[in-house]
Amino acid sequence: MTYNPLHLLMNPKSIAVAGASNDPQKMGTLQALSILKDGYPGQFYPLHPTEKTVLGHRAYASVHDLPEIPDLALLIVPTAFVIPLFEDFAKSGTKRAIIISAGFKEIGPEGRMLEERLQEIAKTYGVRFLGPNCMGIVNTALPLNLTIGKMDSRPGLLGMVSQSGTYVTQTLLYLHERGIRFSKAISCGNEANVDMVDALEYLGQDEQTKAIILYMEGIRNGRRFIEAAQQITPHKPVLAQYVGGSASGARAGQSHTGALAGPDFLYEGIFKQAGIIRCGSIEELYAHGWAQATQPPLRGRRLAVVTNSGGPGTAISHNADQGGMTVPRFSDALQAKIRELIPPHAASANPVDLTYHREMKVLSTVIPEMIMKSGEVDGLVLHGSVGSGFIKMVYDHIKELAGGMSEEEAARQMATDMTEAVKLPWKHGLPMMVSSFFGRRDDNTAQYMDGDIPVFDSPEKAARGMVSLLRHLEIRGRKPIVKSVLPEVIAEAAEIIKTALAAGQKALDEHQAKRLLALYGVPVTREEIVNSEEEAMEAAGRIGFPLAVKACSPGIMHKSGKGLIELNIQTTEALRIAFRSVRTAAGGKIPSVNNNLRFLVQEMVAGSREFVAGMTRFPGFGPCVLFGLGGIFAEALKDTTFRAAPFGSIEAAEMLDDIRAKALLGEFRGMPAVDIPTLASILQTVGNIAVLHPEIAEIDLNPIILSGAAPIVADALFVLAK
């Protein structure tokens, strides 16, 4: 594996800061204070044009005055000063930099030119830099904090890469209150040099980091991103929030970091291809990432639910079930043991519902351990373990009956020894999530958080946190991804495209498209090109009824609803009528193509199940292949999935399992199960064709009809690049 530029950037022995001062209102000062106050053990060199000392340290007027070449330069200065300062550092021998300053490509063409100059300097002097327009890094192992917020003093386990600086720095207090701690956190900014994939690969190698979370507004090198993630995700969970998939999200991302956004449905497929777990909110990203980082991996789908209330137990069970988990009824033997510890009215079957049971040790430790030791479950969600928070809630009502006891004394009397409770996941090798409506002000909740047990503020969220672990269990269970090997370009296929382009065609006609598909092994309908009614009759004799007749021209993109196709023709007379009808419709509606208008006589494939495959090129990812439910309702139902090409047979087969209508691929109402290897091969081949022939802009195979078990392409459209 190649040396990652972030190794030195995240672990410098010396840092020079341009932009720090003695003014606490300046961001550069706040970032310098984070270096000094959060324990950085290396050398700190502030640069300032006039001040002699900055924050108690000798200041230097220029890069040339520094006593040594710093490992890292941190630039927090007005945009106009960035390039000359960066060049001075580069010439002096500094090999890593973080450019906090904004005003580059995110503001438009003028800023883009400035960013290109940074890239030129970096290339000339061999410098790697993060930013511009970022908010720094966190490395809790060193420790090193280059953000404006106070870093948690305890090293963490969760790595983050963010295209927003806010989520690396402004959230530090929010995370502390929830017991979540970074191992490393990296704000990418504009990614002019070091990008998100570099950061992902770095965290993938980092032993301290047990799970990785990504906040994303767009990806510039989609193929490299997918391949990097596929190397990491079978061993280390990677979760992502993508927000560039809507029109407004893409527009905001472009102005924010200059991000290259793509449609949401594309990223949904890309994440599945990469083995990345998608999160719907930043709250979920942090919480699920922390659960993945701290808990033993899930080994199965069986979930235990232990609560002191029926409602939360039902909510946990419902959400777990929706996510693909089961809440199995406990064995009679296990239930008998549980019933010895709970009131007669309480439930023991799973969920275990103690219903206002104040013996917190029974709820928090004894029953959960009994269940974990049973071998009947793979994980546990607990709700209702509460201590001082409960006293604080009711104290005003009970203080007159408490004999003058203070709130603090009452809380101490209710305190529970949670030492063994917080050890349970690692003692038994099973993940545990906690649901509590009481935050860190409750001593039980605080002990869970400080013991690296994920605490969620609702039962539903705790259940979904466990479901997130199930998603990584499924990713760990994927067949190994084998890198796709492209076939050789077939000369005859290349000639079809060359001839069409030379003729000024904007698309291949259907017959040309199917010839090209057949050359690469895709099963297509038997058909013949004809120019007259007589030739149509002769072709029918060779192919046999039933038949379809279609107008065939590169100027015809779609035939349905235009009278350009007649289906299910059973007799010679019906064929004559159909041929004349299609010819009339073609001549009346598309006269501009009459000079190269031909007709297809095509076998009528019997089959009531129809699917669609296609290819579209997306910025940052190149050719991407679509699969979904086909036929006339394809656009209305939008039951589709995407993968970036090229891809192998494993990824192609996974596409088939993505769609909502996947039951149609199995035995269905007397119809046989589809030939999965052949259908998957069609998808893989569509991707290969797109990579081998960049002149093709779009591919649309609709419908792919299942004739018994066999998939056959009944119609094909290839749009050529402009």
| CA 640 to the chain's CA centroid | 17
Q: Is the peptide bond before 546 cis (omega within 30 degrees of 0)?
A: yes
Domain ranges within the chain, ordered by starting residue: 6-292, 295-476, 526-604, 610-720
Contact between 436 and 386 under an 8 Å Cβ cutoff? The reply is: yes
Going by the DSSP 8-state scheme, the letter that residue 295 receives in this structure is S
The pLDDT assigned to 539 comes to 96
Contact between 139 and 158 under an 8 Å Cβ cutoff? The reply is: no
More confident residue, 368 or 561: 368
- Structure confidence by residue, pLDDT tens digits, 421-467: 999 999 999 999 999 999 899 999 999 999 999 999 999 999 999 99
9-33 exposure pattern, b = at least 16 Cβ within 10 A, e = fewer: bbebebbbbbbbbeeeeeebbbbbb
- Give backbone dihedrals phi and psi of 695, rounded to 5 degrees, phi first: -70, -15
The pLDDT assigned to 104 comes to 95
The pLDDT assigned to 591 comes to 41
The pLDDT assigned to 408 comes to 79
Going by the DSSP 8-state scheme, the letter that residue 646 receives in this structure is S
pTM of the full predicted structure?
Answer: 0.92
- Structure confidence by residue, pLDDT tens digits, 376-426: 999 999 999 988 777 788 767 877 777 778 777 767 767 788 999 999 999
- Structure confidence by residue, pLDDT tens digits, 111-124: 999 999 999 999 99
Contact between 597 and 553 under an 8 Å Cβ cutoff? The reply is: yes
What is the fold of 610-720? D-amino Acid Aminotransferase; Chain A, domain 1 (3.30.470)
Confidence check: pLDDT of 497 > 80:
yes
The pLDDT assigned to 11 comes to 98
Give the whole-angstrom CA distance, residue 7 versus residue 205: 10
Confidence check: pLDDT of 258 > 60:
no
Quick one: average pLDDT of 251-280? 75
- Give backbone dihedrals phi and psi of 43, rounded to 5 degrees, phi first: -85, 140
Quick one: average pLDDT of 7-22? 97
The pLDDT assigned to 609 comes to 92
In single-letter form, the type of residue at position 667 comes to E
In single-letter form, the type of residue at position 4 comes to N
The pLDDT assigned to 246 comes to 55
Confidence check: pLDDT of 503 > 70:
yes
Rounded to 10°, the helix 649-656/264-274 angle is 130
What is the fold of 6-292? Rossmann fold (3.40.50)
Place of tokens 């193929």: 223
Quick one: average pLDDT of 610-617? 95
Extended strands (E) in 195-237:
211-216
Confidence check: pLDDT of 313 > 50:
yes
Determine the CATH number of domain 295-476. Answer: 3.40.50.261
The pLDDT assigned to 449 comes to 96
Give the residue ranges of DSSP H helices in 233-353: 247-257, 264-274, 282-294, 310-322, 332-339
Determine the CATH number of domain 526-604. Answer: 3.30.1490.20
- Structure confidence by residue, pLDDT tens digits, 334-355: 999 999 999 888 899 999 998 8
Which SS3 state, helix, strand or coil, does residue 70 take? coil
Which SS3 state, helix, strand or coil, does residue 613 take? strand
Contact between 188 and 130 under an 8 Å Cβ cutoff? The reply is: yes
The pLDDT assigned to 245 comes to 62
Confidence check: pLDDT of 259 > 70:
no
Q: Among 1-5, 68-72, 283-287, 459-463, which stretch is predicted with the lowest mean pLDDT?
A: 1-5
pLDDT confidence band for 586 (50 / 70 / 90): confident
Is-same-fold flag (6-292; 295-476)? yes
Contact between 62 and 85 under an 8 Å Cβ cutoff? The reply is: no
The pLDDT assigned to 254 comes to 41
- Structure confidence by residue, pLDDT tens digits, 640-649: 999 999 999 9
Angle at 196 between CA 195 and CA 197, to 5 degrees: 95
Report CA torsion sign: 22, 23, 29, 33: positive
The pLDDT assigned to 377 comes to 98
Confidence check: pLDDT of 256 > 60:
no
Extended strands (E) in 233-333:
238-242, 277-278, 303-307
Quick one: average pLDDT of 294-308? 97
Nearest to 28 by CA among 95, 86, 114, 36: 36
* 422 CB-near residues (< 8 Å, 6+ apart): 447, 448, 450, 451, 452, 453
pLDDT confidence band for 616 (50 / 70 / 90): very high
pLDDT more than 70, % of the chain? 95
Quote the tokens at residue 201: 């690969």
* 542 CB-near residues (< 8 Å, 6+ apart): 528
Confidence check: pLDDT of 592 > 80:
no
Quick one: average pLDDT of 579-602? 76
Q: Among 70-84, 444-458, 482-496, 619-633, which stretch is predicted with the lowest mean pLDDT?
A: 619-633
Quick one: average pLDDT of 670-677? 92
For residue 112, count other CB atoms closer than 10 A to its CB: 16
Which SS3 state, helix, strand or coil, does residue 72 take? strand
The pLDDT assigned to 390 comes to 76
Contact between 583 and 678 under an 8 Å Cβ cutoff? The reply is: no
Give the whole-angstrom CA distance, residue 27 versus residue 148: 7
Give the whole-angstrom CA distance, residue 448 versus residue 455: 7
pLDDT confidence band for 720 (50 / 70 / 90): very high
pLDDT confidence band for 596 (50 / 70 / 90): low
The pLDDT assigned to 595 comes to 55
